[in-house]
Chain A
Amino acid sequence: MRPIRRQRLYLIIVMLLGIGTAVAFTLKAFNDNLMFFFSPSDVVMGKAPARQAFRLGGMVVDGSVERPGDDLLVRFKLTDYGKDVAVEYTGILPDLFREGQGVVTKGRLRPDGVFVAEEVLAKHDENYMPPEVAGSLKKETVAGRPASEEK
Chain B
Amino acid sequence: MTFSSADCEPDKPEYYLEACDLTCVRDDQVLFDGLNFRIGSKQVLLIEGKNGSGKTSLLRILCGLGLQDGGEVKWCGESIERLGAGYHQHLAYVGHHDGIKRDLTVLENLHMAQALDQPGRLTIDQALEKVNLWGYEDVQAHALSAGQRRRLALARLLVTDNCLWILDEPFTAMDKEGIADFERLIATHTAHGGLVVLTSHHSLNCDGADVQRIDLS
Contact = CB atoms under 8 A, between A and B. Distances in A.
Contacts of B66: none
A70 B93 CA distance: 84
B1 interface: no
A1 B83 CA distance: 8
Nearest to B84: A4
Contacts of B85: 4, 7
A117 to B, nearest CB: 60
Interface string A50-70: 000000000000000000000
A145 to B, nearest CB: 62
A4 B84 CA distance: 9
A3 to B, nearest CB: 9
B147 interface: no
Contacts of B86: 1, 4
A9 to B, nearest CB: 13
Contacts of B83: 1
Contacts of A1: 83, 86
Interface in B44-74: none
A85 B18 CA distance: 79
A57 B83 CA distance: 58
Nearest to A1: B86
Contacts of A7: 85
Nearest to A5: B86
A7 B83 CA distance: 13
Contacts of A4: 84-86, 89
A4 B70 CA distance: 27
Interface in A1-29: 1, 4, 7
Contacts of B84: 4
Interface in B83-139: 83-86, 89
A91 B193 CA distance: 87
Interface in A69-92: none
A4 B85 CA distance: 7
A12 to B, nearest CB: 14
Contacts of B89: 4
Interface string A119-141: 00000000000000000000000
Nearest to B85: A4
A1 B89 CA distance: 10
Interface string B131-165: 00000000000000000000000000000000000
7 contacts: A1-B83, A1-B86, A4-B84, A4-B85, A4-B86, A4-B89, A7-B85
Nearest first, the 3 closest Cβ-Cβ pairs linking A and B are A1-B86, A4-B86, A4-B85
